[in-house]
Every structure is written in C-alpha cells, then in structure tokens.
Amino acid sequence: MPRLTELRWRPLLLSFALGLLSVAAFAPVGAFPLIVATLAGLFRLLDNAARETQAMPGAKIGFAFGTGLFLGGVSWIYVSLSTFGGMPAPVAGLATLLFCLFLALYPALAGAVFTRFAPAPGWRRPLFFAALWALSEWLRGYLLTGFPWLAVGYTQTPPSPLAGFAPILGVFGISAAAAWLGASLALAYATWRARGTTAALRGPLLAIVLVLASGALLREIRWTEARGEPLSVTLIQGNIPQELKWRPEWFNESLRTYFRLAEENPAQLTVLPETAIPALYDQLPPGFIDALRGLALRQNGELILGVATGNAQAYANSAIAVGAAGLQRYDKSHLVPFGEFVPPGFRWLMDLAQIPMSDFTPGAARQAPIRIGALNAALDICYEDAFGEEIIRALPDADLLINLSNVAWFGDSLAPAQHLQIARMRALETGRMMLRATNTGMTAIIAADGRVVAKLPPFTRAALRGEVRAYIGTTPFVRGGNGPIVMLCLLCVALLWRRNTVS
C-alpha cells in the first residue's frame, strides 16, 4: 500500500468533486443538508491522511476541495471581467482561475494543520476539524481586505435548524457547527464499519441530535422586537443593462426609468440601487434631485439614491437620501479590490478591462445612520453586507438595514442568489429587517428572522412595495461580533493540538 505522502490523484479528484458538489448547498439550489455530507467526505479523507502526521497530504486534499468549491461557486468573476468588464477572455479566465486557486489556499491550510497535528482518533478530531475550518473561513474574510463569500454557514439560512445559532455565533459559528456535524457523521460511520455494532453510534448520534434540536429551539427565540408603526417602502429595480448603462445615449433613459417608477409607487421610503444614475451627483441635470425630493415629500418621507459623489480626481460610491430630514449621505467604506480600487502594482491589469469608476475613495468606517421619520437605517452598499462585523458597527442605534447593490456586473449567474442569502444571514445575526434594492436582482424585503418576505423576479423592471418595522434590542452577535467564536475555536485548537508526532 503506498504511503499517504505519495497521495495519488484519486483522493484529490474525490476531494475536488466534493468541493464542486458543495456549491449546490448554497443558493440558488439551497440543498443545505448537502454541505454536511460533503464536509463529512472531506473529514474522512483528512482523517485517513492524518495517520501519516505529515502536512502535505492534508494541504493537497484541502486545496483540491477549495479549488472545486471556488471554481464552481465564484465563476461569476469571469463574467464581470470578460462579459461586462471588456477584459480579453483568456486573461479574464486566467485571472479568475488564479483568484480561485488563491482562495483554495485557506482550506489547504486547514487541511495541512489537521493532518499534521490532529488529536488521537475519537471525538476530539471532529472538534479539531470544525475549529480549523471556521478559523480558515474567518481568516479568508479578514486578510487582504477579505473575501468571506461561500462561508459554509451561509448555506444554513432558514429553514435549516442551524440558523438558530446565527444571532449568537454568527455565520462562522454556523460554519463550525456544520463542519462538526459532517465530521461527527463520518466518524460515526467509520466506527460502525470498524465495530459492526450500532451501540457505538449512540453517543455521536445523540450529540448530533442535541445540536440540531438546540438550533431549532434557538430559532424560536426573538432577540429583538418590533416597535412603532409600519413604514411603507418601495424598492426600485431599474433593470438597466450593464453593457448599456454607461453609454451617454442611455443616460436620460436611466433618469426617466427611475423617476417614473418612484412616481408611480409612492411610499414613505423609496430606495434606488447602487450607482442607479451613471454620473457624479454634481453632474445630474438641474432640477432632477429637486424632483426626487418632491416625490419623497409627498409622503413626508425619504428617497435614497445610489450615485457617485465627488469629482473626477476623488469620488466615492455613495447613497444620498433626500426628503423630510434634509440631505443625508453614506459613503461606501469597504471597497472591492480591482472593482472599486486598484491595488498597488496592478494598474496594468485594470488597463485591460473597461470598468468605469474603478478607483473610489473609501468612506469612514463609522457613519451615522440615515434618519427616516422616527426610524434609523444603517446603509451598506453591495459587497459590504458580506462583512457581518462591519454591519454591526451601526447597531444597536440602527433599527433597519438597507443594502443598495448593482450585481448586473455578474449577469445571470449564481452571484445574485448567493448575495441574497448573505443578506438573509445579516438579518438573522442582527435581528433587523433588511431591504435590498438592486439594478437587476435580487431586490427583496427580508424579515428579522431571515425569511424573504417578498422579492422581485430578476431581470425585470419593476418596483417592490411593502412595509417594514423598526426593531430594537441587541443579539449576542451584535455585542461580541466574531470575537467569541474565533476565541472559542482558537481555544479548541490549543487544547486539542497534538504536540507529539506519533500517530
């Protein structure tokens, strides 16, 4: 039998397939139990490799899993670079591949540490695996401005019983729980195969049932409560094609589209998407903002418009609120590398693309909520809602969350549905309703328990009307952020870390 340090392609191919299959656990497919099964398979491969106590087999297995996961799950990056960014297809393909391979280094690191330092076979190994997996996801969401997309915890939005842990431990805590469930199932199966008796399954299966039951019970707890009267809202989905949006001849069409939809769907709060108008705020036609303000004042409310502010030398990705409370503004603070700012040394790469306004100035990390009558709303723009610890900066002062997005850059891909799932997790973590106004989809109203109350079909020009409530109170996650789960996972690794090298 060959040594595990001479791993052949079959385990790596299986690990790659497991990673690729994991994409179906996320939206839009949403087969949330599947992630437990694929992580069980990954644990089984790593558990076998751990007999050698060498890091390299685990690194290869983790890298293969991550490569499958990210190539399948964030393939929409190619769409943004090539189809809409104008980058030559071979260059866009290579850039996407290299990015996915870079992301795969994080599960590779988790796999390497597991196989090198896993505790003795038994119940400790699933805990060690779960802690390492959650830490690798947190690290991926933190280093180099972070990319927390496809954290496995996002698969567990309602109706998953694990959603109950979101207000306490956040998305990475759910990732740890899902990884532990998968590893525990794999261990129980291996024990059953080795001993041939069901008695050995009682302990692991009881623990699994208790975790699932605890999550289901926690879903019934309401950490926050609604206050005040319902507020009428209109979320406008302009459906302006990305390939036409920045053409001068389409400028007036954009103005007419958004004004007409706002005029025909009056509400106390009207929200337009990110960069709804393809121009700087000061370049808008005279009277246009006054006309929008007039629409808001009809309801004694506010209208929020996504538009760039500043000048040709320094401009911000902003949301401007006009209405009864006067002029209010939010500037996006967490910018997307290559899409909204150019990292040092990569100007040559962006010169190959045709992405307008790709070097924004970031806003302040902490900005005051937008006032809407008696309600305070925390705004975030596009990709910012992928960072739960940044969203909670405005809490508990904010009663409502509002996201303005333009995911038209990614076409009819997995990205819009995945982004909606991320927004649902933010609602769960904070106990606040979340509004999403997008250019092409998914425009939606999300309840404080993560349920989608209403949404528009993608790629339709329409307005979504509904009501929202202000929510007061504080979830444990709002108080502690990711700190508690990160410390818990670090403590778990420190206690279980095998210091000797004898298997």
What does the alpha-carbon distance between residue 327 and residue 496 come to, in Å, rounded to a whole number? 55
Enumerate residues 6+ apart whose C-beta is below 8 A from 492: 127, 128, 130, 131
Give me the count of residues in the chain: 503
In one letter, which amino acid is 187? Answer: L
Region for residue 88 given its phi and psi (left: phi exceeds 0; alpha: psi -120 to 50; beta: otherwise): beta
Q: Please give the positions annotated as active site.
A: 274, 332, 382
Enumerate residues 6+ apart whose C-beta is below 8 A from 479: none
Q: Are 163 and 186 in contact (CB under 8 A)?
A: no
What does the alpha-carbon distance between residue 95 and residue 433 come to, in Å, rounded to a whole number? 36
Enumerate residues 6+ apart whose C-beta is below 8 A from 495: none
What does the alpha-carbon distance between residue 466 and residue 454 come to, in Å, rounded to a whole number? 8
Nearest C-alpha neighbor of 157 from the set 317, 295, 342, 29: 29
Beta-strand pair 302-310/315-323 = antiparallel
What does the alpha-carbon distance between residue 123 and residue 100 come to, in Å, rounded to a whole number? 32
SS3 156: helix
